[in-house]
Amino acid sequence: MEMVFVGIGSNMDREQNIRIGIAKIRERFGIISLSPVYESRAVGFEGENFYNLVVGFSTGLAPKQLVIELHEIESLCKRVRTGPYVGSRSLDLDLLMYGDLIQQWGRFQVPREEITRYAFVLKPLADIAANIIHPVLGISMAELWIKFCDPEQSIWQVQFNPL
């Protein structure tokens, strides 16, 4: 079994879609760790604000199979995969880390570059995996968050219980 971390985001019916996504993840994978929920502005396009969080759980699935399962859950929330890469999302489930695996296949990679690029990914990941070491950079998520500096990116914690 490997410990994995999945980023969750939505800017369309945010609360409903995130609740559905988390319920389906719990049905398929059991006990999960759950970060606080953060709100952030859309990045790269004009759109509604996003809610973002990270969940952690153990799985015996291979990374590619896990991504397929996550896409199936996204589809339950009417996720549309056509159109521009950046845009509004009913539900976005991104495999951020898969144990200490470093791998790329197609346009997927673990660990995801977004961990070090976006506050809305790194902060919730650091909240639930502070001592986990980034397998490429060799430093903890807590240290990455302390060093993160991008004044253009603001996130704020919201009072929303997605369970």
**Is residue 62 included in any domain, yes or no?**
yes
The answer to whether residues 15 and 140 touch, using CB atoms and an 8 Å cutoff, is no
**Is residue 81 included in any domain, yes or no?**
yes
162: preceding bond cis by omega (within 30 degrees): no
pLDDT per position as a tens digit, 47-73: 789 999 999 999 999 999 999 999 999
- Distance CA(159)–CA(77), nearest Å, equals 22
Query: DSSP class of residue 140?
Result: B
**Residue 4 burial (CB count, 10 A):** 22
The domain spanning residue 15 has which CATH number? 3.30.70.560
Q: Percentage helix, strand, coil, to 5, in the chain?
A: 30, 25, 40
| Residue reference for tokens 């291979």 | 62
| Residue reference for tokens 């929330």 | 77
User: Phi, psi at residue 51, to the nearest 5°?
Assistant: -100, 135
Structure tokens belonging to residue 102: 């470093």
The answer to whether residues 4 and 59 touch, using CB atoms and an 8 Å cutoff, is yes
- Distance CA(99)–CA(70), nearest Å, equals 17
pLDDT at 84 (0 to 100): 53
pLDDT at 90 (0 to 100): 82
pLDDT at 38 (0 to 100): 98
Q: What percent of the chain has pLDDT over 70?
A: 93
Q: Tell me the average pLDDT of the chain.
A: 91
The answer to whether residues 10 and 17 touch, using CB atoms and an 8 Å cutoff, is yes
**Is residue 76 included in any domain, yes or no?**
yes
pTM over 0.85: yes
**Is residue 21 included in any domain, yes or no?**
yes
**Is residue 151 included in any domain, yes or no?**
yes
- Distance CA(119)–CA(22), nearest Å, equals 21
pLDDT at 105 (0 to 100): 86
**Is residue 140 included in any domain, yes or no?**
yes
Q: Which residue range(s) make up the domain with 11?
A: 2-158
Asked if the model's pLDDT at residue 102 lies above 60, the reply is yes
Asked if the model's pLDDT at residue 83 lies above 60, the reply is no
**Is residue 163 included in any domain, yes or no?**
no
Domain count, the chain: 1
User: Quick one: CA torsion of 113, 92, 146, 57, rounded to 10 degrees?
Assistant: -100
Give me the mean pLDDT over the 24-46 stretch: 90
**Is residue 111 included in any domain, yes or no?**
yes
